[in-house]
Amino acid sequence: MAKISYRDAINQALREEMERDDSVVLFGEDVAHYEGSFKVTRGLLEKFGERRVFDTPISEAAIVGMATGAALGKLRPVPELMTVNFAYVAMDQILNHLAVMRYMFGGQCTLPVTIRMPGGGGHQLGSQHSHSAEVHFVHTAGLIVVYPATPADAKALLKASIRDDNPVIFLEHEGLYNFQDEVPDGIEPAPLGQAAVLREGTDLTIVAYGAMTHVALEAAEQLAQDGVQAEVVDLRTLRPWDKETVTDSVAKTHRAVVVEESPPVCGIAAEVATNIYEIVFDALDAPIERVSGADVPLPYAKDLEQACIPHAPDVVAAARKVLA
């Protein structure tokens, strides 16, 4: 067991999967020579050579389309889009080609593409670089969407994503790259579509994902000081998400708070909350609280931007509301 960073965990997953399967290839902007704008792909060009690890021009749509075509040609591509914001340039290829082709061709092709995308705000990068765009992918049938919160999950879920035969959108949070945590040696791929209960409790359930999982855990600590035991559920996979684990938890605690970094309108929290209402309505002792990002494009100014992103006190306030 070693403590490694989220970034290195991803690097290890890529390395191990490429060693294991010769059909795994990796490409994107500045991933090879530059070793990645966030340095996630450090050392991979050196190890595997240009045939398997190469740089592309600034052509997000073609990067995704090329991955789709390579998958049709029996490769297992893991392209990187430098940030999730640039995925918008490639939306047609993602939502209207990659996601639909298997279905529309009557199941005659398999597209084992894993698109890695860092995302998330909070670093004064301005509106165009700060989206949490998971919603668009989660809404689209044909895609699988994964968003790990911990280094161990990053490694295990990336391995699973690469081995899965379906198109996977693998989201990483830029703010977590340096976060270090225990990762078991030889960790196996984790099952996709399974949430994790990171903290047990009886008084309320806090559901979160990505960087917000850590916010939820911090809030749970603060609540514990007042004698409130919060159960924290990390979704890990956003589509398909683990309804059973979440609703079992709410059936036990009777109260729920859902936390997301993205704005609330038609968001992940809306989806989770509605399902909780539908499935365990009679277990609820209070309406569900959503804690979401502000419904604005993110501003540049430091404090103003921070006001747009949920922090532990926001989650604590929401928890107090459902406990009232």
Q: Could you list the active site residues?
A: 60, 129
Q: Residue from 192, 223, 233, 273 that binds other proteins (CB under 8 A)?
A: 192
What are the beta bridge partners of residue 183? 2
- How many chain residues are in contact with other proteins, going by CB under 8 A? 63
Among the listed ranges 98-106, 199-207, 265-273, 295-303, the one in contact with other proteins (CB under 8 A) is 98-106
Q: Residue from 144, 216, 232, 309 that binds other proteins (CB under 8 A)?
A: 144
According to the binding rule CB under 8 A, does residue 18 interact with other proteins? no
According to the binding rule CB under 8 A, does residue 260 interact with other proteins? no
C-alpha 155/C-alpha 186 separation (Å) is 10
Q: Residue from 2, 109, 266, 307 that binds other proteins (CB under 8 A)?
A: 109
Which residues in 230-249 contact other proteins (CB under 8 A)? 237, 240, 243-244
130/249 with CB nearer other proteins: 249
Residues in the site for other proteins, rule: CB under 8 A? Answer: 25, 51-52, 54, 56-57, 59, 61-75, 77, 92-93, 96-97, 101-110, 141-142, 144, 164-166, 192-193, 237, 240, 243-244, 251, 254, 275, 278-286, 321, 324
